[in-house]
Structure 1
Amino acid sequence: MTKANNGLSRRTVLRSGAAAVAAVGLSTVFATTARATDSKPSASTAADQARARVLTGEHSANGWAIEKGADIGGSIWTRPIPGSPVTAALRIGDVAVVLVHVVRRFHYEIGTLNRGEVVGYKSPSTVTGYETNHASGTAVDIRPGWYPPGVRGGFLPHELTALRDVLGDCEGVVGWGGDRSHPDEGHFQIEVGPGDPRLAKVAAKIRGWNNSPGKGAGVLIAIS
């Protein structure tokens, strides 16, 4: 009787031990899996981290998000100006379409631009006031050394006529620094905020011109 009980006890102990080992093994697997799952960021966390790498959390004078740099994975990228050797870091999409149009018409009709004569994005640490629009990729300075801030009269009459025609293309969406009380004649910026339907309308018009021969930038205007 004692022997049988001893045998039963041994089987019970062996089974209990095996179950305990299995339980420990499973708990280890679950814990490892949980740690692996926890170490992989969720989609929302990854998106938040990406935004933190790019955005400063502040907005430029015209209401667009300021970014920490150009070509770093955000919305501001260096773009070529077709028909010229010039590039500019601009906010991609409708903003870039409109500002590229301004720079192209300047190049074709006002003065031939050389490499380095157009400045788009500027670091937020270097700008204040209306110039913060550079830090959101929504402004350009054309030949800034030619048109120093505070000085008027940098354009000849026929150049000013062409410039006004360019602004007319943009239907109020682009502002010229020459119209400021403290002039900055080389400065052009988007005047409307994100989501403004006027920007989308003007950008769509310019895209249509770009796809139609005889229209858009590079077409000479009649000067009376």
Structure 2
Amino acid sequence: MCENHDPRTIDRRTLLRVAGAAGIGASLVGVAAAPAFAANSQNGWSGITSSSDTRLDRSFKASGVAFPGGVRRGDVSTVLRYVASEFHRTVEPLVVGWCWGWADRDIRGKEVLSNHASATAIDVNAPDHPLGAEGTFSTSQVTRIHQILDMCEGTIRWGGDYSGRKDEMHFEINVPPSSSALPRVAAKLLGAVVTGSQLAITAADASKVFYADGSGRMVNLWFSGGDSGWHGPSAIQGTTGANGAVSAAKNGRNVFYTQSDGTIANSWFDGSKWNGPYALPAEGNNPVVAPTARMSRVFFTKDDGSIANAWRGSDGAWRGEGRIPGKAAGPLASQGDGNRVFFTDEDGYIANSWFNSGSWHGSSRIGGKGTYPAASENSVNPTVFYISAGGVLKVVKWEHGVWSDPVTIPGNPVGPLDVSADGSHVVYAEADGQIRNTWRGGSGAWHANDLPGKGSNPVIADNERRVVFIGEDGRIYNTWRSAATDGNWAGPSRISHLD
């Protein structure tokens, strides 16, 4: 057992209490002259001596498993819950009755309050990882534990990393109460502090959400259905550069982003873990993966606005970078098969370039002046939406070999647009932050309605049943509709299981 839970004879602090109560402290040799015990635990947090102390979160659970004794409320609880939940998910399942938290005790063999006494430490599956034992976890399990610690940015220490006696069941807060790191990490773990202006989702049902956290690390949240709900955030192998733009393939197993050195990188999920980053032979900004091209083409812009792409050959190797006609003054969009890319050109007009007969052609204007083009996945007759220079929502469509004239539809967006796969829904935020949905009815007429929630940068699932967005507090939310909601939009709900 951990030093805080090992049965032992009466300790010095207990003896002092008993002696004081009996009025005999002065007659105890070597006790009366001893210095008073520090009020703080080893990591600098104040000790808690009563189970009724309001600083204790006695109901603390992780992945449904209770930790008798509880932990300290607030940021400590948030971070330790993340550690325990990720341990349960990626290392080994937590066992009921084998985990615990607060205990008013000293470090075993020392006259120093343990971090358990300040409710800033937990023990997990203690009987399988006893105090002093080494190698109770496999090499792969240790790797996953360190991935959890990496996500916590030094605010957590694991007993398996102690230089002396190991305590592999044990995780503790590793910063003092005055540290600014703990609240920042706690906010990040709650889905906050998105550095970029872009979220990426698995397009089919939005059950995975990818983004760059406040440290530029690639992370994801995921929905498992049933009572489990949302999980994460969990670290992905990779770190973004300054703008934090992220693009995800439809299968949710490949994510693309720009690294701090400017290279376009890819992290991928092999069914059990995230791998990468793999640097593509390309450098640029704001990568966009073609949605239905089997992750075989990624578009991006150069510092001077030039458009380029990298592509994966039949042998699986990435090649590039290849230049595409045109210069972009803002983000790019792609049709489904990756054979057409849309952008705002140097003069402010919506334009496109296209691939045909083995080479790229263009650029050619397809609409009026505008920003934030977004396209449906239809590769035969793509639909493109954009925000006009006057701030209204416009749509153009490729039909019979020509682009239609721009049509004004309901909506006054102020930021990025996102479009469902078939082009029947487009979501955006308006000037007051209201998340809004413009949709095409059965008659072909366009309508608009407010969705629950305010924020920015919404993205919509292909099944048009979930919208994910950054809330006004910088955290990630979703709104949804289903048979259970009679087809009406419900929410918004913050999508971190730590809340």
Per-residue CA deviation, residues 92-151 of structure 1 (Å, 9 max, x unaligned), is: 000010001000011111111122221100123685567610010000111122112222
- Alignment match of 2:138 (pick from 156, 168, 178): 156
- Alignment match of 1:112 (pick from 88, 93, 101): 93
Residue range with higher mean Cα deviation, 141-150 or 161-170: 141-150
- Alignment match of 2:67 (pick from 79, 82, 87): 87
Match of 1:205 in 2: 188
Paired with 1:142 and 1:96, the residues of 2 have a C-alpha distance of 15
Structure 2 contact 38–113 (Cα < 8 Å) conserved: no
**Structure number with higher strand proportion:** 2
The alpha-carbon distance between structure 1 residues 102 and 182, as it changes in their structure 2 partners (threshold 3 A), is same
Structure 2 contact 147–235 (Cα < 8 Å) conserved: no
Structure 1 contact 84–113 (Cα < 8 Å) conserved: no
Paired with 2:119 and 2:98, the residues of 1 have a C-alpha distance of 16
Match of 1:76 in 2: 56
2:190 matches 1:138 = no
Structure 2 contact 106–112 (Cα < 8 Å) conserved: no
- Alignment match of 2:159 (pick from 177, 185, 202): 177
Structure 2 contact 95–125 (Cα < 8 Å) conserved: no
2:233 matches 1:216 = yes
The alpha-carbon distance between structure 1 residues 130 and 187, as it changes in their structure 2 partners (threshold 3 A), is farther
| Alignment TM-score, normalising by the size of structure 1 | 0.66
Tell me which structure has the larger Cα radius of gyration: 1
**Structure number with higher helix proportion:** 1
5+ residue gaps, structure 1: 1-55
The alpha-carbon distance between structure 1 residues 129 and 169, as it changes in their structure 2 partners (threshold 3 A), is farther
5+ residue gaps, structure 2: 1-36, 193-208, 210-220, 223-231, 237-271, 277-499
The alpha-carbon distance between structure 1 residues 182 and 95, as it changes in their structure 2 partners (threshold 3 A), is same
Share of identical aligned residues, percent? 30
Shift of 1:218: 10
The alpha-carbon distance between structure 1 residues 151 and 82, as it changes in their structure 2 partners (threshold 3 A), is closer
Match of 1:9 in 2: none
2:105 matches 1:124 = yes
Does the residue aligned with 2:65 lie in a helix, a strand or coil? coil
Structure 2 contact 60–71 (Cα < 8 Å) conserved: no
Shift of 1:159: 1.1
Does the residue aligned with 2:114 lie in a helix, a strand or coil? helix
Paired with 1:148 and 1:223, the residues of 2 have a C-alpha distance of 32
Paired with 2:60 and 2:54, the residues of 1 have a C-alpha distance of 18
Paired with 1:123 and 1:58, the residues of 2 have a C-alpha distance of 12
| Alignment TM-score, normalising by the size of structure 2 | 0.31
Structure 2 contact 38–112 (Cα < 8 Å) conserved: no
Equivalent positions of 1:50-69 (< 5 A) are: 58-69=39-50
Shift of 1:157: 1.8
Structure 1 contact 84–107 (Cα < 8 Å) conserved: no
Per-residue CA deviation, residues 69-92 of structure 1 (Å, 9 max, x unaligned), is: 23x133112234243233350000
| Partner amino acid, structure 2, of 1:216 | P
Paired with 1:141 and 1:122, the residues of 2 have a C-alpha distance of 11
RMSD, aligned α-carbons: 2.6
Does the residue aligned with 1:105 lie in a helix, a strand or coil? helix
The alpha-carbon distance between structure 1 residues 154 and 82, as it changes in their structure 2 partners (threshold 3 A), is closer
The alpha-carbon distance between structure 1 residues 82 and 151, as it changes in their structure 2 partners (threshold 3 A), is closer
Segments ≥4 residues shifted beyond 6 Å: none
Paired with 1:185 and 1:134, the residues of 2 have a C-alpha distance of 15
The alpha-carbon distance between structure 1 residues 192 and 218, as it changes in their structure 2 partners (threshold 3 A), is closer
Paired with 2:165 and 2:181, the residues of 1 have a C-alpha distance of 26
Residue range with higher mean Cα deviation, 59-68 or 143-152: 143-152
